[in-house]
Amino acid sequence: MLKIRDLWVEVGGKILLKGINLDIGEGEVHMLFGPNGSGKTTLLLTIMGFPQCRILRGEIIFNGKIINKLPMWERARLGIGIAFQSPPVIKGVKLKELVKLLSGGDGFSEELFSFLRLEDHASREINRGFSGGERKRSELLQLFAQNPKFVMLDEPESGVDLESVALVGEAINRLLERGNYVKRTPKGYSKSALIVSHTGYLLDYVSVDSAHVLLDGKLVCNKNPRDILLTIKKQGYKGCEICKEIS
Amino acid sequence: MSDEELKRFGFDLEGEDKSGSFALSDDLTLVSLAKESGLEVMPISDALKLIPEVKEKYWWKLLSPDEDEITRKVAGSPLRGLFARIKKGKRIVLPMQACYILRSEAFSQVVHNVIVAEEGAEIHLITGCLTSSHVSSGYHYSVTEIFIEKGAFLTYSMFHSWAPDVEVYPKSVALIEEGGKFISNYVCLREVKYLETYPKMIVKDNGVARSYSVVYAPSNSFVDIGSKLVLEGNSSKGESISRSVSSGGKIIARASVEGRASNCRGHVECHGVILTEGGFISAVPELIAFKNDVDLSHEAAVGRLSEDEILYLQARGLSEDEAKSLIVRGFMKVEIEGLPEELKREMDRIIDMTFEGGEGL
């Protein structure tokens, strides 16, 4: 579904991604670990097409099409969706208004507002006075309305209390049609995802196929997510540095 | 002027869901009728002839005929305009409509209106001021005297839609007596050569006045709009909120609150967005306090649309124009406390109609 080849990206005069190669197949869920400042968010924003992420070299291929030069909204319409880590307040735009627009009319299930505990937020401006957890759930709600084939989630569990992590995990499974919400095609799962995580808490709720570690703009590892998390927990990212040197 | 054009701005000559209707086309009164008991609607010339107290109590009582060029022009012109009065204690939920149309090229429409809500009465007035589609130039001068007597409630919503070479000078003063409540909404979203309006509201003890204006100025438009709230009564309250959007047009958004009595509270908000270069927005909030126990405040901000917000919506699949349109529409939809739902929906409908899909930006 998504292939990235030798991707180099500059933001504000600094090179933040240095030769990324990544393959995410149809129905696969990948997790991305890495310390602060390693380039995780930059990678997501570059795939989405944010203009401040300038591609110096390499290709992003989505469903066989090179999308390097496509504007953001065209990428979104091809089926790429993102949940931001710290989304801004959208002044004057009500959550239910945007959700209606994204879902293309009145067909959106009202039940999703209560599922994500956002019934009281529907008529409020997007993110105005929302808590950290409410912002994350509002991002997921919008993704439900968009219904993308490829979902990028930037630290969906950060700033969320432990009780709500379970809800976020449940929502991600539902969005990706996994866990209790399985909808397999003859080939298997159909939705793919790249999830940036700091903590790995989500691994208790979402089944992740593969994980990567990003260090200083380079992907240094691609292994079982639990093995990677174990290394990080025991040795910090230094463990990954050692691993990188060995490999 | 076709019925369709009138309907776009919520005016329908039949007036089926209205409590009363009045329409003036150039200087011809097309409609003047009241459908509910307790409501009087008639041309001002008839009112002055038939009801002696109109002259005694209301006619040129809030303004002087030689106050300025506009009042002199109105005082010296043939009598045209609306007299509407809602009787004591009568509350009418269905809105009343009034429409002022410029139908002939370069016509100069001159109007003097008197609107009275007697003690404890309630009425919601919608006025539409439009130019017929084949007309590009003209003038509209008006004086409106509004009386909100003790404990009465009046909302006055003005939807203006002019043409590129039209100049408009509506002048109004509202007197809000003890415990009365007045909400004034002004919406102008189409090109106009020159528009100048600065309604004054005088608020007595425990009275409330709220003024909202939403203005969009494309290039070649010059809009000088504002309101002046004079809080004369103890514990009176006033609020003046404006939203201005310039895409090449010039806007002066004024808002002044004078606190003249004990415990009065006033708030002013002037927010502007500049979409393209070529014009300007001048936000002029003014607070004047005469007592040591008044509470007056203001907020003013002028700038561009937030890049972060536009990018956020683009990441959701909206094109740049669609994203801007959604944000501008949201910016203009002010929360108006106390305005009936139906009128809120009508304001939102007109804003959506103007900016849907990025048109007009």
Same domain flag for B137 and B205: yes
Tokens coding B313: 């919506």
pLDDT band at residue A178 using 50, 70 and 90 as cut-offs? confident
Domain count, chain A: 1
The average pLDDT across A231-236 equals 84
Same domain flag for B195 and B260: yes
pLDDT band at residue B154 using 50, 70 and 90 as cut-offs? very high
Determine the Cα–Cα distance for residues B182 and B203; give it in Å rounded to an integer: 9
Test B316 with A102 for CB contact under 8 angstroms. yes
A-chain CB neighbours of B299 within 8 Å are none
Same domain flag for B38 and B174: yes
Q: Is residue A247 part of a domain?
A: no
Q: Given this model, what pLDDT does residue A246 score?
A: 54
Q: Specify burial of residue A8 (Cβ count, 10 A radius: 0-12, 13-18, 19+).
A: middle
Other CB atoms within 10 A of residue A152 CB: 25
Q: Given this model, what pLDDT does residue A15 score?
A: 97
User: CA B174, B180, B185: angle at the middle one, nearest 5?
Assistant: 50
List of E strands, A168-207: 192-196
A-chain CB neighbours of B318 within 8 Å are 73, 101
SS3 A85: coil
Q: Give the pLDDT confidence of A210-229 residue by residue, as tens digits.
A: 999 999 999 988 888 888 88
A81, A93, A146 ranked by CB distance to B330: nearest: A93
Q: Given this model, what pLDDT does residue B14 score?
A: 73
Q: Give the pLDDT confidence of B22-68 residue by residue, as tens digits.
A: 999 999 998 999 999 999 999 999 999 999 999 999 999 999 999 99
Q: In percent, how much of chain A has pLDDT > 90?
A: 68
Which residues of chain A approach chain B closer than 8 Å at the C-beta?
48-51, 71-73, 76-77, 81-82, 84, 87-94, 97-98, 101-102, 125, 142, 146
Same domain flag for B194 and B211: yes
Q: How far is B312 from chain A (nearest CA, A)?
A: 8
B-chain CB neighbours of A142 within 8 Å are 316
pLDDT for residue A148 is more than 80: yes
Determine the Cα–Cα distance for residues B45 and B96; give it in Å rounded to an integer: 20
Give the global pTM: 0.84
pLDDT for residue B1 is more than 60: no
Determine the Cα–Cα distance for residues A190 and B350; give it in Å rounded to an integer: 43
Test B311 with A98 for CB contact under 8 angstroms. no
Determine the Cα–Cα distance for residues B242 and B270; give it in Å rounded to an integer: 5
Question: Which residues span the domain enclosing B232?
Answer: 3-305
Pairing type for strands A2-11 and A54-62 reads antiparallel
Q: Is residue A64 part of a domain?
A: yes
Phi, psi of B312 (to 5 degrees): -55, -45
Lowest mean pLDDT across A2-11, B190-199, B203-212:
B190-199
B-chain CB neighbours of A102 within 8 Å are 316-317
Q: How far is A72 from chain B (nearest CA, A)?
A: 6
What are the residues facing A116 on neighbouring strands? none
Q: Which amino acid is at A154?
A: D
Q: Which are the contacts of A30, defined by CB distance < 8 A and separation ≥ 6?
A: A22, A24, A192, A193, A194, A195, A208, A209, A210, A211, A212
CA separation, residue B154 to residues A22, B182, B339 (Å): 65, 5, 10
Test A102 with B317 for CB contact under 8 angstroms. yes
Q: Given this model, what pLDDT does residue A186 score?
A: 64
Determine the Cα–Cα distance for residues B58 and B175; give it in Å rounded to an integer: 11
Which residue in chain A has the smallest CA separation from B313?
Answer: A73
User: CA A124, A84, A41: angle at the middle one, nearest 5?
Assistant: 160
Q: Given this model, what pLDDT does residue A16 score?
A: 97
pLDDT for residue B250 is more than 70: yes
Which residue in chain A has the smallest CA separation from B314?
Answer: A73
Q: Which one is predicted more confidently, A183 or B307? A: B307
Q: Given this model, what pLDDT does residue B159 score?
A: 87
Q: Give the pLDDT confidence of B287-318 residue by residue, as tens digits.
A: 999 999 999 999 999 988 999 999 999 999 99
pLDDT for residue B354 is more than 70: yes
Q: Is residue A157 part of a domain?
A: yes
Q: Is residue B297 part of a domain?
A: yes
CATH number for the domain spanning A52: value is 3.40.50.300
Same domain flag for B244 and B313: no
Q: Suggest the residue from A41, A47, A52, A72 to mutate for an interface test with chain B (most B CBs closer than 10 A).
A: A72
Same domain flag for B168 and B200: yes
Same domain flag for B232 and B271: yes
Q: Given this model, what pLDDT does residue A181 score?
A: 82
pLDDT for residue B204 is more than 70: yes
Same domain flag for B214 and B348: no
User: To which residue do tokens 């990677």 refer?
Assistant: A228
pLDDT for residue B169 is more than 80: yes
pLDDT for residue A247 is more than 60: no
Same domain flag for B10 and B60: yes
Tokens coding A11: 């933001």
Average pLDDT of chain B to the nearest whole number: 92
B-chain CB neighbours of A86 within 8 Å are none
Same domain flag for B301 and B318: no
Q: Is residue A107 part of a domain?
A: yes
Average pLDDT of chain A to the nearest whole number: 91
Q: Is residue B260 part of a domain?
A: yes
B309, B316, B322 ranked by CB distance to A91: nearest: B309
List of E strands, chain A: 2-11, 14-24, 29-33, 54-62, 65-66, 80-83, 90-94, 125-126, 150-154, 192-196, 210-215, 218-223
Q: Given this model, what pLDDT does residue A187 score?
A: 66
Same domain flag for B211 and B349: no
Q: How far is B226 from chain A (nearest CA, A)?
A: 22
pLDDT for residue B13 is more than 90: no
Q: How far is A234 from chain B (nearest CA, A)?
A: 37
A-chain CB neighbours of B315 within 8 Å are 48-50, 72-73, 76, 82, 84
Q: Which amino acid is at B320?
A: E
Determine the Cα–Cα distance for residues B321 and A108; give it in Å rounded to an integer: 24
Same domain flag for B142 and B247: yes
List of E strands, chain B: 20-25, 28-34, 39-43, 82-86, 96-102, 107-117, 122-131, 137-148, 153-161, 165-176, 181-188, 194-197, 200-203, 208-218, 222-231, 237-247, 250-259, 265-276, 280-289, 295-303
Test A102 with B319 for CB contact under 8 angstroms. no
Determine the Cα–Cα distance for residues B185 and B299; give it in Å rounded to an integer: 19
A-chain CB neighbours of B311 within 8 Å are 50-51, 72
* 8 Å CB contact between B258 and B290: yes
A49, A88, A142 ranked by CB distance to B308: nearest: A88
Q: Give the pLDDT confidence of A153-177 residue by residue, as tens digits.
A: 999 988 888 888 899 999 999 999 8
Q: Given this model, what pLDDT does residue B357 score?
A: 58
Q: Given this model, what pLDDT does residue A142 score?
A: 96
Q: Given this model, what pLDDT does residue A243 score?
A: 67
Question: Which residues span the domain enclosing A162?
Answer: 2-241
Q: Given this model, what pLDDT does residue A244 score?
A: 65
Q: Is residue A89 part of a domain?
A: yes
Q: Is residue B361 part of a domain?
A: no
Domain count, chain B: 2
Test B312 with A88 for CB contact under 8 angstroms. yes
